Structure 1
Amino acid sequence: MSANLQSAANPSLSLKKRILPVWNQLGMLIILVLLCVVLALFAPYFTETNNILNILKQSSITAILAAGMTMVILTGGIDLSVGATLALAGVISVMLSNAGVPAGIAMLTGAAVGYTAGAVNGYFTAVAKLPSFVVTLGSMTYLRGIAFVISGGLPVVLQDKLFIFFGSGSLFGIPTPIYIMAVVYIAMFFVLKYTLFGRHVYAIGGNEEAARLTGIKVERTLIHVYSISGLMAGIAGVVMAGRVISGQPNAGISFELDAIAAVILGGTSFVGGVGRIQGTIIGVLIMAVLGNGLTLLDVDYYWQLIVKGLVIVIAVLLDKLRN
């Protein structure tokens, strides 16, 4: 009753209550559509099928990383190591493939490397109670160091055609990385929305101590969360190795920032407990479309970096305003 009286006394408050839920659900989608309309008007090539497929293909790596990052941020944590994990997984999988290991096993090993790196992050964050920022900052450094050591600091050229197809091929005219990205997001949507584990992730992000008191095994859940983030980085590393036809120890530099920005743009709160995986893919597409549009409009690369930095700041600001 009092809330209704307040709304009647303050029409602007009532308007906010009606608009905010709609904005939280559809705001970023509206921005994406408007961005596409503007680019279609000023950069006609933007709407061509090949360019749309190129946008989706180019954004697939960031999208896969952002899928795992979404789960981490939902728990109130952060994973700065995904770019380095991507590089290490790519280098190891390519080296195994070149050594005669079947392509499928080599790629699965790359994904397993990512999963293991994530599990280590999860252990130190959940069990040792170290801040996730510090843990993943440290792993970002040593994982990339390992990638440089085992590769001798040089790219390892990929030779297996099946492996190359995994990152550079196409099926029915659609690049294979797009299929992989779609499978990842369908799986993550199902896990977060329909499984007990997904509900535990949201509960921990909302209030970790309350989640523990209700019987949720917080430490085990967090280890799984970081392991999944590492797995996504491992998969992204394998896809990227196939796309550039090499395992590169310097791959994925600053990719973690793109993934974080996409997650926050998509509506996931930095403080945890609120967010949707479908919002993350919209955030990824906003950044990909923006980058593609600036390139088509012949905007200098250095200016593109400035725009990308501003987008990250705006993403954090939007998160603050939502909260």
Structure 2
Amino acid sequence: MTLTNTEHLDTSDGNGSDASAPSPVAAPTPSSRLKGFAERNALLALLLAVITFFAVYPESSATFFTSQNASVLLGNQSVVALLALAVILPLVTGYFDFSLGAIAATSSVLTAGLMSFHDLPLGLAVAVGVGVGAVIGGINGLLVTRFGLNSFVTTLGMATLLGGLIQWYTGGQTILAGIDPALPRFGGSTWLGLPRVVFVVLITTVALWYLLAQTPFGRSLYAIGSNPRSARLVGIRVERSVWTTFVLAGALAGVTGVLQLARAGSATADNGTSLLFPALAAAFLGATAVVPGFFNAVGTIIGVLFVSVAVSGLTLSGASAWASPVFNGAALLVAVGLSHYLGRHRGVRTG
């Protein structure tokens, strides 16, 4: 982003030199480059260390480092990964969206219900499920940008509302019958030895990375997250851009719901909380990697893998049922603290 000067101001100090000229910037030293490299790759190194530990730990070594476990892990975590990518879109601009888990659950239930209760074809049911996610995201964005409501409270209220609507629509029952078998067949099949849903996540990751890192729109979102007032002064349409992130996040959460339905083959009357918190932990962990202090797509995927691999290793090691939520909660707390520190260090708002 460049700013064009419309006037020339004489800022010389009377000796022929420009008093406003910036002082030369020192070249980065080897130690500073090493520190930057360590910051960018610390989470990846930690992920590799966790994989190595559980691969050799006697209680988990027999089953952890196998292709079958890897396939199951990647397939199951694809849903969390996709929701985590949705989560970072509003976070880039400095806003929370706590309704994304509920939007995913709504999309899953609605897509299944339209096929089961109303005999809609698969394509139309999926389109409606994703479209409803985008509409709910648009409503959230409108409430936050146009009416100035707090994003935390607004989206939390929306999540509660959607949870109640899910219970009403399903009667508290799981939708099992009437789902087009092509959808669970896609969710359970593999390609090149990997679950097909993994490739959906990979394509989405590349697309989101390109949007945020390689386009003027993406750079404007980071500018808003850093300083919305300055972004507005240089001509960025802040409210419209923030609203767009809510719409995109809602649509992506809708796709997440369809993917969850494809993996499970049924839709439960769930409010999506079990998906949201691992996704949040991954998003904030991702803000400590690759581009420390900034929410980014590649770092988010590394965060998803770190959380899922650690939880899988604990489960295979015989850890109790409480270990998974405790680890997810601790990871979220640590990740929020680290991303907040790195964001302040670079002058960026991290939520």
Q: Same fold (TM over 0.5)?
A: yes
Tell me, in whole angstroms, the C-alpha distance in 2 between the residues paired with 1:86 and 1:154: 17
TM-score, scaled relative to structure 1: 0.91
Report what 1:132 is aligned to: 151
Tell me, in whole angstroms, the C-alpha distance in 2 between the residues paired with 1:218 and 1:211: 7
Report what 1:243 is aligned to: 263
Report what 2:191 is aligned to: 171
Name which of 98, 104, 128 aligns with 1:109. 128
Tell me, in whole angstroms, the C-alpha distance in 2 between the residues paired with 1:121 and 1:2: 46
Tell me, in whole angstroms, the C-alpha distance in 2 between the residues paired with 1:104 and 1:266: 33
CA gap 1:281/1:231 in 2 versus in 1, 3 angstroms: same
Tell me, in whole angstroms, the C-alpha distance in 2 between the residues paired with 1:2 and 1:31: 37
Tell me, in whole angstroms, the C-alpha distance in 1 between the residues paired with 2:106 and 2:281: 23
Report what 2:160 is aligned to: 141
CA gap 1:214/1:273 in 2 versus in 1, 3 angstroms: farther
CA gap 1:268/1:31 in 2 versus in 1, 3 angstroms: closer
* 1:82 partnered with 2:100: yes
Q: 18-27 or 42-51: which moved more?
A: 18-27
Task: State the 1:18 CA deviation.
Answer: 3.9
TM-score, scaled relative to structure 2: 0.84
Report what 2:302 is aligned to: 282
Task: State the 1:310 CA deviation.
Answer: 1.4
Task: State the 1:15 CA deviation.
Answer: 8.2
Tell me, in whole angstroms, the C-alpha distance in 2 between the residues paired with 1:138 and 1:46: 40
Name which of 35, 43, 47 aligns with 2:50. 35
Report what 1:295 is aligned to: 315
Superposed CA deviations along residues 233-278 of structure 1, whole A, max 9, x for unmatched, are: 1111111112222122215223222111101111269xx9823210
Report what 1:214 is aligned to: 234
- Gaps of at least 5 residues in structure 2 are 1-22, 346-351
Q: Secondary structure at the match of 1:156?
A: coil
Tell me, in whole angstroms, the C-alpha distance in 2 between the residues paired with 1:22 and 1:171: 34
Amino acid of the residue matched to residue 76 of structure 2?
Q
Task: State the 1:166 CA deviation.
Answer: 3.3
Superposed CA deviations along residues 202-250 of structure 1, whole A, max 9, x for unmatched, are: 1110111111111111111111101111111111111111222212221
Higher-helix-fraction structure: 1
CA gap 1:273/1:131 in 2 versus in 1, 3 angstroms: farther
Q: Secondary structure at the match of 1:256?
A: helix
Amino acid of the residue matched to residue 272 of structure 2?
G
Report what 1:11 is aligned to: none
Tell me, in whole angstroms, the C-alpha distance in 1 between the residues paired with 2:196 and 2:115: 19
RMSD: 2.2
Tell me, in whole angstroms, the C-alpha distance in 2 between the residues paired with 1:162 and 1:248: 19
Query: Percent identical across equivalent pairs?
Result: 31
Aligned residues: 313
Report what 1:122 is aligned to: 141
- Kept in 1: contact 2:141–2:243 (CA 8 A): yes
Tell me, in whole angstroms, the C-alpha distance in 1 between the residues paired with 2:48 and 2:256: 27
Superposed CA deviations along residues 41-84 of structure 1, whole A, max 9, x for unmatched, are: 11222221111111111111110011011121111111101111
- Kept in 2: contact 1:65–1:233 (CA 8 A): yes
- Kept in 2: contact 1:241–1:248 (CA 8 A): no
Tell me, in whole angstroms, the C-alpha distance in 2 between the residues paired with 1:20 and 1:320: 18
Tell me, in whole angstroms, the C-alpha distance in 2 between the residues paired with 1:65 and 1:295: 23
Superposed CA deviations along residues 114-137 of structure 1, whole A, max 9, x for unmatched, are: 111111111111111111101101
- Please identify runs of 4+ aligned residues in structure 1 that moved more than 3 A: 1-4, 14-20
Tell me, in whole angstroms, the C-alpha distance in 2 between the residues paired with 1:321 and 1:108: 40
Tell me, in whole angstroms, the C-alpha distance in 1 between the residues paired with 2:99 and 2:255: 14
Superposed CA deviations along residues 76-119 of structure 1, whole A, max 9, x for unmatched, are: 11110111111111111011122221112211211111111111
Task: State the 1:306 CA deviation.
Answer: 1.8
* 1:26 partnered with 2:45: no
Report what 1:311 is aligned to: 331
- Gaps of at least 5 residues in structure 1 are 8-13
Name which of 286, 289, 309 aligns with 1:266. 286
- Kept in 2: contact 1:167–1:176 (CA 8 A): yes
Tell me, in whole angstroms, the C-alpha distance in 2 between the residues paired with 1:84 and 1:307: 22
Tell me, in whole angstroms, the C-alpha distance in 2 between the residues paired with 1:177 and 1:224: 26
Name which of 235, 246, 252 aligns with 1:226. 246
* 1:202 partnered with 2:217: no
Task: State the 1:24 CA deviation.
Answer: 2.7
Name which of 171, 186, 208 aligns with 1:188. 208
- Kept in 2: contact 1:77–1:132 (CA 8 A): yes
Amino acid of the residue matched to residue 40 of structure 2?
Q
